[in-house]
A and B are shown apart, each in its own frame.
Chain A
Amino acid sequence: MSDIYHGTWFSSLTSRGWAAWLLAVILTAGYVILYWFPSIMGLGSDGAANTGLVGLFDPLSMYMKGRPASEWFVYGTLYTMAILVMGIRFLIRYRGSRYQTYRTLSVMFFQTSFAFILPEILQGLNKPYYDFKSIWPLNHYFFLDYNLDAMLQAGTLGYFMLFWGIAAFVLITPILTWFFGKRWYCSWVCGCGGLAETAGDPFRHLSDKSTTAWRIEKWVVYSVLVFVILMTVAVLTTRITGFRYIMLIDSGTLSAWYGFLIGAAFSGVVGVGFYPLLGSRVWCRFGCPMAAYLGILQTIKVRWPWSDEKKRLSKFRITTNGGQCISCGNCSTYCEMGIDVKAYAQQQQDIIRASCVGCGICSAVCPRGVLKLENM
């Protein structure tokens, strides 16, 4: 496995050279157009037919749900294509490793079926658009009025969606994280993670490993979690009480700002647009409130009523193989979450970090077989 990243720092595209900057500008511009100027892509406004790029996707959209493509349909299709094409590239590169093969097939499957085909079909059937694997707080609009209304008006299926959405957050996530760590979601299921692991693979080493970056990460990611909680509480309180100025500002404005700042600007423009400059997991590391929640579950220690000592809730950790580490630095360099894995390995300590998404790349690139992802 350890020859996969030969030449990484020699290529302009993967070492922040001119090609990387060019790609970053193109990607970022693409997101800006998608979010704020979709007419440039050819989206027909006021009932006019689509042209240009969006027009190209009309036949597929008509086939899947019987209506012309929207800019989001185009985005969803391209996003899925990126995961599939780059996923195949990843599978070829990691063909010797079963862990890498299985989890890549898994993210390819969840993206294609749960995130792309199923929601589009639901929409075609005039049911609420729902990606069953997108869990609040990542799915920040789950509790927004329009989404709740859509579910409540959709009969049994709608109630199931509501129930599922809440259970996913309060039950499924803690239980699976308890057994497998954060990775069950971030490296096996999530669409953002899926793109990062496949299309983002050539850029994983660009993550910042400094302790300053770690400090910023902790502040920012938990702030976003607080933001989304406040926003959701405000919106729900407004729904129940009718009072709009819960947090001193209108809860509608609050959720709109969250959508703009976090949902669009952070996760899209910065998160993906800056892949070639900041690495593939900037959003997952600094911005994703779901990652923050999973990270807390991954590291938190609890004292169960029947035991005297605090035990870590999650069974997941990366163990190190005695004194075999030669401090080469491959693990830290290729950790997309910017974790200084080597610092732990050379002290023979287990790696238990909130941000670790369990991608297993550190273990794959280690030339001495020092690291093992385990559910103890």
Chain B
Amino acid sequence: MAKVFFTASYVRVILYTFVIHLLTSSGKKMHIVIVGNGIAGSTAALKIREGGDHEITMISDESEFPFARTALMYVFMGQLKQRNTLLYEPHTWREKNINLFNGKVVRLNSHTKSIFMSSGKQIFYDKLIIATGSRPVMPDIPGTSLHGVQGLYHLADLQTLENTVRTEKGRAVIVGGGLIAVELAEMLLSRHIPVTMLVREKSYWANVLPPEESAMITAHIWSKGIEVIVNEEAVEILGSNGNVCGVRTKYSGEVIQCTLCGIAIGVSPNTDLVKNTNIHVSRGILVNEYLETSSEDIYAIGDCAELQNADPGRRTVEAVWYCARTMGHTIARTLCGERTSYTQGVWYNSAKFFDVEYQVYGEIPSEIPPSVHTMYWKHPKENKSIRINYDKSSGVVLGFNLMGIRYRSSVCLAWIIERAHISKVMKELSAANFDPEFSLRYEAELKSMYHTLL
């Protein structure tokens, strides 16, 4: 009898050890905790699920289901409902067995490998992915905490904006001249709110766009009825009874009366969670090429991550959608057993200035260096332009900048990667067009421009 019992418990011990081994050894089933359910966190979660049966928990203090921040403006303009902006159908998460958890993570302990929720709940992890995104930068001037002064980043900002425009119908001043500034302007205009935009540079987004494109878009924004004040900054936001009532400008000293002040001077990585830990932070949470932070089993991806070894000529924090998504893919590979390094690849992005679409592939600096030749074509009447940059001495094509015209991503990127010669690009240019069928094509104009250059 005793012998039987002994054997049974012996088997049990072996079984238990085996299960514990399964649970703990790397490459086997782990508990992966992701803080932040933006595009970075969500992509990581889904891709990890594709690659294995780890337990996955994704935590957010913002929304129950992951949604597209990029679509916030369309919700405000009544073009989309909040529900339309969900990244995936809500049932996806249940089907993929990914635990979604609502709440704020307030503290991280890398020694006990656990995080703490604001409710006091402690959650243990085997691997932790920090994907906490960015937050809007607030200028260091008086008055930013007044009612009616806000940035546009989180879902809550949309609600705040909605509440403000419901009661206040006065002018809005937008401080900043970048992508979010123009989105904010379009949103407010759709509610018939007059807008003034304060742009620090000499024209809209002049620190990114080459002068011609920048001038074209500045004029376009004016044509929509927005007052664009360039070479100007805010020095003080004025209030009365706690509400914003004006913005004082730096150089003219003038006060622009307003009931709303939108701040859109950029975003910075949200590194709150790693404050007071041993994890290294510079602007963002520092990661190596494997997206590993300085603390073991902790990774950072998306807007909050800063690359220690960025590619030459590239920024260490690239707070854009596709980079966050690619990092999500990369980390998933690593956690599913195939250690993969994050490569920045060829830069590309897209945006929209009211109805003018913008695409960029490769390197298009705002100031063209002398070693680079730039070929710029603009439609005589419409807001359409094509710019192709190539190296003067070697003829290697470096980048494409497009306004109001769509080019095919795969073709442009392939040319840049294979260091195609400009003559080849010119010959095959029609392969790059991605405009809808029957659209007018401008390859002939570009080609004749190229031939006059030769």
> What residues of chain A have their CB less than 8 Å away from a CB belonging to chain B?
1-3, 5-11, 96-99, 102, 210-211, 321-324, 326-330, 332-333, 340, 343, 346, 360, 363-364, 367-369, 372-374
- Residue from the list B80, B326, B409, B434 in contact with A333, Cβ < 8 A: B80
How many A-B pairs fall under 8 Å by CB?
A: 118
Contacts of A374 in B (CB 8 A): 437
- Residue from the list B77, B348, B351 in contact with A6, Cβ < 8 A: B77
Contacts of B68 in A (CB 8 A): 326-329
- Residue from the list B85, B359, B413 in contact with A328, Cβ < 8 A: B85
- In the complex, the answer to whether A6 meets B437 with C-beta atoms within 8 Å is no
- In the complex, the answer to whether B77 meets A326 with C-beta atoms within 8 Å is no
- In the complex, the answer to whether B348 meets A330 with C-beta atoms within 8 Å is no
- In the complex, the answer to whether B434 meets A369 with C-beta atoms within 8 Å is yes
* CB-based closest 3 A-B pairs: A322-B409, A98-B438, A369-B406
- In the complex, the answer to whether A323 meets B190 with C-beta atoms within 8 Å is no
Contacts of A97 in B (CB 8 A): 436, 439
Q: Say yes or no: A7-B190 contact (C-beta < 8 A), given A326-B70, A329-B85.
A: yes
Please give the number of chain B residues whose Cβ is less than 8 angstroms from any Cβ of chain A in the complex. Answer: 42
Q: Say yes or no: A324-B348 contact (C-beta < 8 A), given A6-B190, A98-B436, A373-B436.
A: yes
Contacts of B79 in A (CB 8 A): 5-9, 330, 333
- Residue from the list B81, B326, B351, B408 in contact with A9, Cβ < 8 A: B81
Whole-angstrom distance between the Cβ of A215 and the nearest chain B Cβ: 13
- In the complex, the answer to whether B78 meets A372 with C-beta atoms within 8 Å is no
- In the complex, the answer to whether B439 meets A98 with C-beta atoms within 8 Å is yes
Closest A residue to B187 by beta carbon equals A6
Contacts of B190 in A (CB 8 A): 3, 6-7
> What residues of chain B have their CB less than 8 Å away from a CB belonging to chain A?
39, 68, 70-71, 74, 77-81, 84-89, 186, 190, 321-322, 325-326, 348, 350-352, 354-355, 357, 359, 406, 408-410, 413, 434-440
Whole-angstrom distance between the Cβ of B442 and the nearest chain A Cβ: 14
Most chain A beta-carbon neighbours within 10 Å: one of B84, B85, B439: B84
14 contacts between A and B (CB under 8 A): A98-B437, A98-B440, A321-B434, A323-B348, A326-B68, A326-B71, A326-B350, A328-B74, A329-B71, A330-B79, A333-B80, A333-B84, A368-B357, A372-B436
- In the complex, the answer to whether B355 meets A368 with C-beta atoms within 8 Å is no
Contacts of A373 in B (CB 8 A): 436-437
Other contacts beyond A98-B440, A323-B322: 20, CB < 8 A: A7-B78, A9-B79, A98-B437, A99-B436, A99-B438, A210-B89, A321-B409, A321-B434, A322-B408, A326-B321, A327-B39, A327-B71, A328-B74, A329-B68, A329-B84, A333-B84, A372-B406, A372-B434, A372-B435, A373-B437
Closest B residue to A372 by beta carbon equals B434
Contacts of A211 in B (CB 8 A): 89
Q: Complex Cα distance A332/B325, Å?
A: 20
- In the complex, the answer to whether A328 meets B78 with C-beta atoms within 8 Å is no
Whole-angstrom distance between the Cβ of B409 and the nearest chain A Cβ: 3
Contacts of A1 in B (CB 8 A): 355
- Residue from the list B77, B186, B413 in contact with A7, Cβ < 8 A: B77
Q: Say yes or no: A321-B408 contact (C-beta < 8 A), given A3-B354, A211-B89, A368-B350.
A: yes
- Residue from the list B87, B350, B410 in contact with A327, Cβ < 8 A: B87
Most chain B beta-carbon neighbours within 10 Å: one of A211, A326, A340: A326
Whole-angstrom distance between the Cβ of B356 and the nearest chain A Cβ: 10
Q: Complex Cα distance A11/B80, Å?
A: 12
- Residue from the list A5, A210, A324, A363 in contact with B322, Cβ < 8 A: A324
- In the complex, the answer to whether A369 meets B359 with C-beta atoms within 8 Å is yes
Q: Say yes or no: A329-B86 contact (C-beta < 8 A), given A9-B79, A322-B409.
A: yes
Q: Complex Cα distance A90/B420, Å?
A: 43
Contacts of B413 in A (CB 8 A): 322
Whole-angstrom distance between the Cβ of A194 and the nearest chain B Cβ: 19
Contacts of B84 in A (CB 8 A): 329-330, 332-333
Q: Complex Cα distance A256/B88, Å?
A: 44
Closest A residue to B77 by beta carbon equals A6
- In the complex, the answer to whether B74 meets A10 with C-beta atoms within 8 Å is no
